[in-house]
Amino acid sequence: MTIGQKIIQLRNSRGISQEKLAELMNVSRQSISKWEMEQSVPQIDKILQIAEIFSVSCDDLLQDKIELRGTLTAPLRNKYFGTDGFRGESNIGLTSMHAYKVGRFLGWYYSLQLKNENGTRRPKIVIGKDTRRSSYMLEYAIASGIATSGADAYMLHVTTTPSVSYITRLDGFDCGIMITASHNPFHDNGIKVINRYGEKLDDETTALIEAYLDGDLASLGVAGDDLPLATGDKIGCIHDHISGRNRYIGYLISTASNSYKKLRIGLDCANGASWSIARAVFGALGAQLYIVGDEPDGLNINKDCGSTHIENLAKLVREKHLDIGFSFDGDCDRCLAVDENGNIVDGDKIMYLLAKRLKSRGMLKDDTVVATVMSNSGFVASLNKIGIKCVQTKVGDRFVYECMQEKGYSIGGEQSGHIIIKKYATTGDGLLTAIMVAEEICDSKSSLSTLVEDVVVYPQYLKNVRVSDKDEVMNDK
């Protein structure tokens, strides 16, 4: 067990947040995060501090072979949660009871943290959802679980994943929840949990959620057959928080410095979470809008529309002679574009355009972009040609963000359209990406096709291979 793992376990066992530990040690929250992610090791004076705070010996912390006992911990199961949260077919792989239990755990867990920090308030958890029919069922189940455990739930209603991340950070929530299965069909759904900094929840806390879902209360240090119920005035409240979504819309509008009155823009909202927000944002910026995929009925999210069916937007752009088109997925954390000729501009080309923009303004840290191994090698070569390096990670926007955090890089993303621009967000944001592309078109007075014409695309073939043990294959040298 590494020192980073031990710090996480000690924090969880005492219900102490990264923020509180940083305050006790007079260091930054980022330092605590780096220690726990094993991106750096605390100096000896800090190790002595940690040992004193948690009443353990330095040997307990430093020797990998020593396991800490009596701490709040659970083995990593990955039975329910993957890199994109808890996913499953509604009422088969993911039921309302699962959702209720996730809410129960989070309400209890953050109540425990506040109690141990001598807090006097109830925890606050914000919830957003996409347009799937089952999202409403899961939303109420989660909110009920949160209130039952003594925390307050705040409902953003139908909104995007990046908006939940933004509002969690802005309004000081203990965590955020997004109910979505992203680009998947309506019968699937999912639960994404976001920490107070707008980032994906750490693996250790996720393992505790899974322990509770499996009835392993011993790992939580709880006696009995369930978590304690809040009673009397300790029962949580459920609040409407649509004002948070409105502030997010205002924030997006504020990131633009140009008027789009001369731009004819097509939007495909995938009948998903962005269906009203996208219109509000680009309408406020003055664009002449042509919108499809903006009539959700609970069953048509991503159906023949959105970023997984971008050919429909390409047809619209050609037929209406538009300047540009933007296509989003069900929860709007990704964006693909279509140029004025109806040609598809994928995430690689968008990253090239935005990285070049940042470099010209002296805002591209170390002249480096973070991508995944799925990116086209022609994209990497094109970046190198203009003096930009490319660091590649495992597939998943989580790994892209972790690399960006570790090195302080400015931009990263995936070919599929997840683009993270560190100055503005901690997660992929389809609408923000679209705004930044539109800004470059206005500032450069160039068409989208011109802006990405130097990107060379090499032949690429992607094939999924089914294996019996994914971890064994990936670790096979």
List active site positions. Answer: 182
Q: What are the structure tokens assigned to 447, written together?
A: 């068409």
Beta partners for residue 40, in sequence order: none
Residue 290 contacts residue 447 (beta carbons within 8 Å): no
Longest dimension (CA), the chain: 71
Tokens at residue 206, please?
Answer: 């996720």
User: Where do the H-state alpha helices sit in 149-287?
Assistant: 161-170, 203-213, 242-254, 277-284
User: How many whole angstroms separate alpha carbon 18 and alpha carbon 36?
Assistant: 10
401 in Cβ contact with 412 (< 8 Å) = yes
Token pair 């029919």 in the structure block, residue: 133
Task: Specify whether the CB–CB gap between 41 and 56 falls below 8 A.
Answer: no
Which helix or strand (DSSP H or E) is residue 91 part of?
Answer: none
